[in-house]
Amino acid sequence: MARFFGEVPSSPMGATFGSRRELAAAGVHTPLMAGISGNGREGVDSIVVSGGYQDDQDYGHVILYTGHGGNDPATKRQVADQQITAPGNAGLVRSQLEGLPVRVIRGAGGDRAYSPPSGFRYDGLFRVEDHWSKIGRAGFRIWQFRLALLDGAPASGDLPNIQASGPVPRVATTVQRQVRSSAVIEQVKLWYQYRCQLCSELLAVATGPYAEGAHIRGLGRPHLGPDVPGNVLCLCPNDHVRFDNGAIYLLDDFTIVDALEGKKLGRLRLHHKHRIDLAHVRYHRETHAT
Amino acid sequence: MARFFGEVPSSPMGATFGSRRELAAAGVHTPLMAGISGNGREGVDSIVVSGGYQDDQDYGHVILYTGHGGNDPATKRQVADQQITAPGNAGLVRSQLEGLPVRVIRGAGGDRAYSPPSGFRYDGLFRVEDHWSKIGRAGFRIWQFRLALLDGAPASGDLPNIQASGPVPRVATTVQRQVRSSAVIEQVKLWYQYRCQLCSELLAVATGPYAEGAHIRGLGRPHLGPDVPGNVLCLCPNDHVRFDNGAIYLLDDFTIVDALEGKKLGRLRLHHKHRIDLAHVRYHRETHAT
């Protein structure tokens, strides 16, 4: 069964659970032992924050969460470096790169200000904003993740405000570009194993490959393009910017044209299952070619 | 004097003006004739929506706005194709690429549902979400821009919801990646004329070059990096993803290291005015190198 991302309808924000077994039975956090549910291929659907790592910091709507690994199973003490490629850690990076929502469950062992008095509580969907490593209090390398509460929450918004937790003045930055993801986009990326359909580049980061989905005919007014595989390309970020801004378009035979130089750049890479709708290719060409 | 982006303090949302001369005197929209204030190098700080183009569409919090050019000055009728490289049009693309806020002023000639009964009204800050061309009602090519109301407004949020205006279900997409901009980042980009400091690529789109600013030491907790030129790199989007995700780091002599292959990739490009703080370079290396 596919991993389930997002809120479990029968367990809204604030739902409480007496034990890990109850959490698992409700589908809110399915592993009985692990604090992180997920892996580097799929991403992470839920985590439990319960004070197991002394380097965790809980600010309510923002959590600095320590990854897994390097603990002695008997004493729970850190005895070795953590690896970013460990499944749960690579999974949290995947969630960051894809913008996937993570269910956060707080347990009674965590920070007193934000944790339930006993058992476990589902505290809403968070997004992974950042990850980094440092030497933890035990003297070994740990990986940490900044999670921020999403939409519908009192202290935050759909757009996590990075200024709110730092010394940068509120007016200092604006959103320059937003890249969106969807289940359809994920399907298209998997067909190409994240390789760019335009330039064939495989952009690799420490935990695996990265690509973006580009809608050929845009969503929203006035284009009203559909979110279906036939309207999506798997592109590297550079070619995504070019494709969206009139530097590249496609001919009906999927020849790639450099609109600025007026020359052909070869053919679009195509997976046999990927049936691109030519009506969208023509719409893009007519609306974006200069 | 530098172009002023954002709200003019003495003219909050809803402020009214009797004439274009009053708008100019208040600094809300300085040109007396042109509907677009700005150009492709700086971006656009304000526009006037007053029904001058029959292809405009006003939805209140979203406006489909037609660019300039191709009009007969005497009759105001479209007599030729518009060009995306015309100053105001290229300026709106720059505003889209940099996420710059645009002051929108509605005049009495616009859509009755949203326009003032007489004179002009400042209706808040919008962001440019998209641009495209089409054949306008007069039979010539026009360029159009989708603007959406920013933060603090009733019908929208800081994150324009593209689903709200299209047929795509609200849950279909999530934000995968957000690229932010600031005055400091713009300064650094200008030093390099948008050329990537890591790979030297100049990513060009139809209206000019594109680059992203990367904070070496991240903003926000726990890094608390400053938004100053010594903490910013000018990167292409691909290298920005690599730099933020452990695939690339820098040595103290600005040698670029491919962390995945463990090999040196040459030196960082450096402008003579760009004094990068080595403390931030070390922090990035220590927190991101795997």
Query: Which residue in the set A93, A205, A242 is minimally distant from B242, CB to CB?
Result: A205
Q: What percent of chain A has pLDDT over 90?
A: 70
User: If you measure CA to CA, which chain B residue comes closest to A161?
Assistant: B220
The residues near B79 (Cβ < 8 Å, ≥ 6 apart) are B70, B71, B72, B138, B140
Query: Which residue in the set A131, A183, A224 is minimally distant from B167, CB to CB?
Result: A224
Q: Are B64 and B144 in contact (CB under 8 A)?
A: yes
How far is Cα B58 from Cα A56, in angstroms, rounded to an integer?
A: 48
Token duo for residue A221: 């007014």
How far is Cα B69 from Cα A93, in angstroms, rounded to an integer?
A: 46
Which DSSP helix (H) or strand (E) runs through B280? helix B278-288
- Does any CB of chain A come closer than 8 Å to the CB of residue B188? no
Task: Tell me, rounded to whole angstroms, the distance of Cα B227 from its chain centroid.
Answer: 18
**B120 φ, ψ to 5°?**
-135, 150
Considering the domain architecture, whether residues B137 and B226 belong to the same structural domain is answered as no
Task: Indicate the number of domains in chain B.
Answer: 2
How far is Cα B26 from Cα B37, in angstroms, rounded to an integer?
A: 14
Q: Which of B134, B165, B196 finishes a domain?
A: B165
How far is Cα A274 from Cα A252, in angstroms, rounded to an integer?
A: 15
The ipTM of this complex is 0.82
- Does any CB of chain B come closer than 8 Å to the CB of residue A286? yes
Q: Is residue B175 part of a domain?
A: no
Per-residue pLDDT tens over the stretch A165-193: 333 333 346 677 777 778 899 899 999 99
**Taking CB atoms and an 8 Å limit, are B175 and A176 in contact across chains?**
no
Asked whether residue B112 carries a pLDDT value surpassing 60, the answer given is yes
Considering the domain architecture, whether residues B267 and B139 belong to the same structural domain is answered as no
Q: Domain span at residue A231? A: 183-288
Q: Are A158 and B163 in contact (CB under 8 A)?
A: no
**Taking CB atoms and an 8 Å limit, are B172 and A165 in contact across chains?**
no
Q: What is the count of residue pairs from A and B with beta carbons less than 8 Å apart?
A: 250
Q: Is residue B177 part of a domain?
A: no
- Does any CB of chain B come closer than 8 Å to the CB of residue A174? yes
Q: Please state whether beta strands A36-39 and A248-250 pair in parallel, antiparallel, or not at all (unpaired).
A: unpaired
H-state helical runs in B33-107? 87-98
Asked whether residue A162 carries a pLDDT value surpassing 50, the answer given is no
Considering the domain architecture, whether residues A49 and A144 belong to the same structural domain is answered as yes
Considering the domain architecture, whether residues A160 and A196 belong to the same structural domain is answered as no
Which pLDDT belongs to residue B180?
Answer: 78
Token duo for residue A13: 């924000």
Q: Are A272 and A230 in contact (CB under 8 A)?
A: no
**A268 φ, ψ to 5°?**
-65, 135
Per-residue pLDDT tens over the stretch B223-264: 899 999 999 999 999 999 999 999 999 999 999 999 999 999
Placement of tokens 């929209």 in the chain: B29
Q: Is residue A189 part of a domain?
A: yes
A5 CB burial (10 A radius; 0-12, 13-18, 19+)? buried
CATH number for the domain spanning B121: value is: 2.30.280.10
Considering the domain architecture, whether residues A208 and A140 belong to the same structural domain is answered as no
Query: Which residue in the set B100, B182, B247 is minimally distant from A205, CB to CB?
Result: B247
Q: Please state whether beta strands B101-107 and B43-49 pair in parallel, antiparallel, or not at all (unpaired).
A: parallel
Of A159 and B55, which is predicted with more confidence?
B55
Which of B131, B241, B248, B287 to substitute to test the interface with A, most A CBs within 10 Å? B241
Q: Mean pLDDT score of chain B, rounded to an integer?
A: 88
In this prediction, residues A209-222 reach a mean pLDDT of 91
